[in-house]
A and B are shown apart, each in its own frame.
Chain A
Amino acid sequence: MTKIINSNEELIDIDDEAQNANQQIGYAWEEEYKRSWDVLQEDEDGGLKHTVEHLQSRKRKRLERDTSIIKRGIIRHMFLIIDLSEAMLEKDLRPSRLDLTLSYAEQFILEFFDQNPISQLGVIVSKSGVAEKLMGLTGNPMDNINVLKKKNIDTDGEPSLQNALEMARSSLIHVPAHGSREILIIMGSLTSCDPGDINETIDNLVSENIRVSIVGLAAEVQICKLMCKKTKGTYGVVLNEAHFKDLLFEIIPPPPVSIVKSKSELVVMGFPRGVNESMPSLCAWYDYACIYRNAVKGISNL
């Protein structure tokens, strides 16, 4: 018995709509309210102590960390890299990621020089696949703040982590060994448009003792996590505006210095010293003059 299959045989209805017609599926707005004050749980005595403690615990933890006795390097050389990609236009942080970042960056710079008076800071921005140095390493907070205040800061395309890092690295290579070398990145984008292999850049950063810390504004990106881990920096992703500030300001206290690594040589500063060159040179004074100037500035900041 050979059966010829008729091609327009009844289709098997896999989408049995009627079956569930009488089944109620609630809309989101029909659901129960989620009340934020429900988070506050009273304990047996009707107090809120426990909950409040829990909320404060993180803040306290940060403060506690500061009290331990470790040697800290107060001469820091840091580049602040700010992502100016299109992702910074998102408004999930009020007023927008960009505005908030710029205003926090300003506060950060002031606070940074307040706590690290003889350090230097520079600013790099990255957009549409290139990096741009707005300000080289300088000891004057107003220089940095002024470049960020300029109106021409606009966003475009994707950032390039590698370009920005390389730019910062090329400037940081030359700083003397007694100061720390650091990079802080504020990153709103989840992608990076790189010309080459970023892993090589990371390896270079590791070998040159440059510490990279990143504050992410959206989500955890693997390469950032890896980079911070390798270079012994910190990586945080912001939850809200306040948390953003917390994360940013965590970078401000001077980082501990491992005693083995740092050559604990005395740094000459404050007074110029006559050096007798046997051969005439272009600028035998320059280095010392720089340190002198910075030191004076540092003192005036205090």
Chain B
Amino acid sequence: MKFFIGNLPIYFPYDKIYPEQYSYMVDLKKAIDAGGHCLLEMPSGTGKTVSLLSLIVAIQANYKEKRKLIYCSRTVPEIEKALAELRNLIEYRTKCGEKDEYLGIGLTSRKNLCINSSVNQEKWGKVVDARCRNLTASWIREKSKLYSPGEVPLCNFYEKMENDNERQRMLIPDGVYTLEELREYGKEQGHCPYYMARRTIPFANAVIYSYHYLLDPKVAELVSKELSKDCIVVFDEAHNIDNVCIESLSIDITKPNLDASAKSIAKLRDVIEDIKKKDSQRLRDEYDKLVEGLMAASQERDEDVYLSNPILPEDLSHEAVPGNIRQAEHFVAFLRRFVEYLKTRMRAQQVVAESPMSFLQNCREVTLIERQPLRFCSQRLTSLVRTLELSDLNDYYALHKVAAFATLVATYEAGFMLILEPFENDTIPNPIFHYACLDASIAIKPIFRRFKTVVITSGTLSPLDMYPKILNFQAAVQESYSMTLTRNCFLPLVVTRGSDQVAISSKFEVRNDPAVVRNFGQILVEFSKIVPDGIVAFFPSYLYMESIVAMWNDMGILNEAWKHKLIFVETPDAAETSLALENYRKACDNGRGAILLSVARGKVSEGIDFDHNYGRAVIMFGVPYQYTESRILKARLEFLRENYRIRESDFLTFDAMRHAAQCVGRVLRGKTDYGLMIFSDKRFARADKRNKLPRWLNQFITDACTNLSTDMALVTAKKFLRTMAQPFERDQLGVWSVEDVERQERSNVGVGGRAAQFN
């Protein structure tokens, strides 16, 4: 259908539109016209992506300035989905007679895109990266020219692309490519899809990739450096964006890391000695270059840089590398001293928390290492690695980590904290040095500053005023949408006590009380009797899950549940979990039915959908609070209180509720789907918890189902499941056709005056 918002003609690839999709577009347009950031909450599975793309593509096609769309999503399947949606839209526009020249491209890691059969067999992303570099690094390609062909292995796809590239300007024909199609195209042309995608980014109209390509300074500098100011940046599924920001600037150093670095340093020294004898000119050249401050050998870096600077571009100082680390051997000695210093610090027997400043001061007193050279550590190491033409960069991973640590410590003062924990669980000696970023706004600041419009959107962003606070930005539009449903296709139930009226809670004091555990078990067993196919249960943590499952086993509750459904458990091990998931799905498909026990912050709760029969019910056992004894969390809470005036309990509740909403949202991935959402903890019944849930969820929590005992919940659930099983008559209630949209548009114009003209 085609309709107008203001003067903007919008093509929407479906015949009908939900009112919330329409208002989502209106608000988004408002934000883009105003040139501000916006925060929009709309449940996923209701066509959020398509509304967003329809509007932005319309803006791209009709506004004079050609703005590029940068769409960041979280996981590879989500990227794939967004690309498919975009292609669908462009096809629809073409069918309607719009002649867009549109190039949309997705980017993901080498592991997912590589088509070189000798490389893409590798399991680990890091290994694939390293192998790829061994075939494509510039010095290796230089070297191969000296030898006869075939003697130095190269990547055929990369070479062919380079050759074609020299002859003519390499461009992919217009169109939208999903990742799979990109691979296909690469195979057809004999070009490397990964580098093809990376080089196309400057020309593409829409780029869809993962958060890290924009937020993580190590990667962002390589990939996203040349994006212009007027790009429209979208973060989809952004409820976890603050954690991504924090992770991108945090580093943990362990004892094995230090040992490996010490080894790498020794190796580096040998290589330097070796080269000194054979080819001292090369080291001298590097030295000269450093003196001139000509670090950026920009055209080489594209392929070679492996772990670039972890600090944000604007914090990079433009001075030359300080004198005392310009000589290769001096630098290596410097690194060794620093690693030794860290080792001595790790011998401490107490937990230490200190600011970066005090760390630096202590470091200077003990080792005479100044702040300035530390700051250039990472940069200098990269340069050295390039000069020495090292292959097998994977071996130097630990050393790079230490160098990145040094650079970060010396660059940032506020918003960071160094925490040394000598023991794991207070008993096992396993010293870890956490360099923890406490302020999520640091990593995202350059993005808000550089781009005019940043859209943050997700299914769960409530309460909306929290995100602008912790990310420190001003939102021009912030809105949460309710959900129009043709039938009440999900039923939230808050179970506060068991059938024996004992209040249930995962509160620390009562969480291991047998009565509570038994009642939790009772909920699982009873619901496994009445819910068909799949049930997903979420616990606040692995530790708690383990203890509860052990107790259930002793009480015979597992045996009881086994009669009705198979039981699968998520573990921290990814391979194990994916195996469990696969079998879980199988059991849901063939009618046996299954229960998946998982953890609210685990992999399952974030990236995996349990649509239709894979999740007819989701049970939250307890409120998924973070582990409040964690020192990093305590430091962050203190920071938030002091700097952003957010109370500890507010933040913790906010964080718990967004995870809870995220977990229960897993079962509902579309309007034809249905599912039960069971919150079993007495604390969920409180208003302060409930009003932190997203609006679309809250609108269906009625008073009648907020304070139930298990048996009452069962009766309601049974009735709900029966009703939902009835044939679904699609009487498109509450869905708008073109006429409805036009009527709405006219009334908008009538109230608000003429919408903004094109610029």
Contacts and interface: CB of A to CB of B under 8 A. Distances in A.
B187 interface: no
A219 B530 contact: yes
Interface string A211-249: 000001011111110000000000001110000000000
Interface in A32-83: none
A3 B354 contact: yes
A16 B687 CA distance: 12
A4 B707 contact: no
B353 interface: yes
A124 B403 CA distance: 73
B724 A198 contact: no
A31 B706 CA distance: 12
Interface stretch (B80-88, B371-379, B469-477, B585-593): B585-593
B531 to A, nearest CB: 7
A5 B353 contact: yes
Contact of A222 (B612, B653, B707): B612
Contacts of B683: 15
A67 B216 CA distance: 69
A5 B351 contact: yes
B537 interface: no
A14 B353 contact: no
B718 interface: yes
A216 B649 contact: no
Given A2-B354, A193-B592, A221-B591, A239 B507 contact: no
Contact of B589 (A1, A161, A222): A222
A4 B532 contact: no
A222 B362 CA distance: 65
Contacts of A87: 529
Interface centre among B592, B631, B637, B683 (most CB of A within 10 A): B592
A221 B703 contact: no
B354 A190 contact: no
A36 B532 CA distance: 28
Interface string A172-194: 00000000000000000011111
Nearest to A199: B590
Contact of A190 (B355, B531, B589, B637): B531
Interface in B698-740: 703-704, 706-708, 712, 718, 721-726
A218 B590 contact: no
B8 interface: no
Interface stretch (A20-28, A256-264, A268-276, A281-289): A20-28
Nearest to B638: A12
A221 B587 CA distance: 12
Interface residues of B, number: 56
A2 B591 contact: no
B591 A239 contact: no
A265 interface: no
A154 interface: no
Nearest to A216: B725
A26 B708 CA distance: 11
B16 interface: no
A19 interface: yes
Contact of A198 (B563, B591, B652): B591
A197 interface: yes
B294 interface: no
Contacts of B687: 20, 23, 25
A205 to B, nearest CB: 15
A4 B350 contact: yes
B7 interface: no
Contacts of B564: 190-191
A154 to B, nearest CB: 17
Given A4-B351, A13-B649, A193-B592, A31 B531 contact: no
Contacts of A3: 352-354
B722 A219 contact: yes
B353 A12 contact: no
Contact of A158 (B426, B563, B590): B563
B529 A19 contact: no
A28 B591 contact: no
A192 B533 CA distance: 10
B685 interface: yes
B726 A239 contact: yes
B590 A194 contact: yes
A86 B712 CA distance: 22
A194 to B, nearest CB: 7
Q: Is the interface of A mostly helix, strand, loop or mixed?
A: loop
A23 B686 contact: yes
A221 B353 CA distance: 55
A31 B702 CA distance: 11
Given A20-B686, A219-B722, A28 B704 contact: yes
B580 to A, nearest CB: 19
A60 to B, nearest CB: 15
Contacts of B588: 222
A267 interface: no
Contacts of B718: 92, 218-219
Contacts of B427: none
B136 interface: no
B338 interface: no
Contacts of A222: 532-533, 588-589, 591, 612-613
B386 interface: no
Nearest to B719: A239
A158 B350 CA distance: 58
Given A158-B563, A219-B721, A221-B533, A19 B688 contact: yes
A7 interface: yes
A16 B649 contact: yes
A191 B565 contact: yes
Contact of B591 (A25, A161, A219, A238): A161
Contacts of B723: 239
A26 B703 contact: yes
B358 interface: yes
B686 A25 contact: yes
A190 B726 CA distance: 16
Interface string B586-615: 001111110000000000000000001100
A11 interface: yes
Contacts of B589: 222-223
A219 B703 contact: no
A220 B725 contact: yes
A269 B629 CA distance: 85
A74 B533 CA distance: 36
A19 B650 CA distance: 12
A12 B686 contact: no
A237 B726 contact: yes
A28 B529 CA distance: 24
Given A158-B563, A239-B726, A191 B592 contact: yes
Given A12-B652, A190-B531, 7 more contacts: A7-B351, A14-B649, A28-B712, A92-B718, A190-B533, A237-B722, A237-B725
17 contacts: A1-B355, A2-B354, A2-B358, A4-B353, A5-B352, A9-B634, A11-B629, A12-B634, A14-B628, A14-B648, A14-B652, A26-B707, A218-B722, A221-B532, A222-B533, A237-B722, A237-B725
Shortest Cβ-Cβ A-B pairs, 5 listed: A222-B613, A223-B591, A237-B725, A220-B725, A219-B721
